[in-house]
Structure formats: C-alpha cells, structure tokens
Amino acid sequence: MDDHNRFRTFYAPRSGEAIGPSAVGDAFCPPPTRPGQTLIDLVVGLSMRAALAVQYFMWAADNAGGGASWRSWAEPEPGLVAAAGVWTLGWVDPALAAFVLLSAALLLGLSLSFGLLTRLAGLLTVAGALWYALFVLPPAWPGALAWGALGLYLALRGAGPASIDWSLARLSRLG
C-alpha cells in the first residue's frame, strides 16, 4: 500500500463528516493574526516611537541654541558646529554638517511621531548610534546601544498598528 492510499484509509471522512477547516469550527481555530496586529505590538510600537521621538526633539532643542526663533534653528550653537567638525572627520563643512544634523533630528522625530517611514527612521537611528559609538564618543557605548536597540526594533518590526505606515499598508492590500 503506497503512502497516498494509506493516508486515505486512515484520514478519509466518515459519512456525514465535513471536510476541511470548517469541520473543526472557528472556536478552536481562530484565523491567524498578521504580524504586528496585536495589542502588544500597538503598545510597544507606540512606546518605542515615543521614546525615540522625544529624544530626537530634546537633542535638537538643546543644540539649536535655545530654539526661541527660527534663526536659532538655522544657525546651530557653536558647540554643535565644533563637534560636527570632529564627527565628520573634516570631510564636510562643520556648519553645514551641524545644520543637516539638526534637520535630520527634527525630521526623524516628526517621522516617528506620526509613524511615517518608521523602518527607514529605525535604520538611520541604528546607523547614527553605530557612528556615535565607533567614532564620536566610544566610552558612551551604553547610550548608543540603547538608541541602536530601539532603532533596530523599529527597523525590523515597524511602527505598529497606530501609524501612517500601518494604515497605508492596510489600504494597499485592499486595492
């Protein structure tokens, strides 16, 4: 007896039995949830995004020279300009690098707040944390590790159900 006939012999339905998943019933076999669709993903995604967004906003406000006017955002404080010269290893104009860093921090904070392009923001956070730990301040690796871990989670898992990314993904499946 070959395997196919053996399977039919042992698992053939008896008269009156239903065939397929409906035979078990929905109470025993709920439909599988999609990755990222649970309440835990909602809470963890929101908390990770909020933690990183607040950190980015606070860092940008501290390095913008007070942030009282738009001019302070366009002209970063001299300490950040000097630090940007060291961080970029002299390859880029320090004032331009400081302005780009401030702009990137604000854009990443906004992106994480709304949950838009979260995976990209997570990858940029991981890259920034790695750069900081390797070239900027190696003794501060625990802080960079924390930032990198938050960014890695968001890069791998996404923003969670309470985000624009999630809404756009759901809409794209309808069409």
Chain segment 124-153, per-residue pLDDT in tens: 999 999 988 998 889 999 999 999 999 999
What pLDDT score does 171 carry? 86
Total count of domains within the chain: 1
Residue 43 maps to a domain: yes
pLDDT-based confidence at residue 9 (cuts at 50, 70, 90):
low
Percent of the chain surpassing pLDDT 70: 75
For residue 72, is pLDDT > 80? Answer: no
pTM passes above 0.95: no
For residue 83, is pLDDT > 70? Answer: yes
Percent of the chain surpassing pLDDT 90: 40
Other beta carbons within 10 angstroms of residue 165's beta carbon come to 22
Residue 64 maps to a domain: yes
Residue 69 maps to a domain: yes
| Pair 125, 145: CB distance under 8 Å | no
Determine if residue 36 is left, alpha or beta; phi over 0 gives left, psi from -120 to 50 gives alpha, anything else beta.
left
Residue 3 maps to a domain: no
Give the residue with greater pLDDT, 36 vs 80. Answer: 80
Tens digit of each residue's pLDDT (9 = 90 or more) over 85-125: 888 878 889 989 998 999 999 999 999 999 999 999 999 99
Q: What is the 3-state secondary structure (H, E, C) of 85-151?
A: HHHCCCCCCHHHHHHHHHHHHHHHHHHHHHCCCHHHHHHHHHHHHHHHHHHHCHHHHHHHHHHHHHH
Residue 27 maps to a domain: no
Token couple for 165: 């990314």
What range defines the domain where residue 63 resides?
Answer: 37-174
Segment 1-21 shows an average pLDDT of: 58
Residue 4 maps to a domain: no
Residue 23 maps to a domain: no
Residue 126 maps to a domain: yes
For residue 25, is pLDDT > 60? Answer: no
What pLDDT score does 90 carry? 80
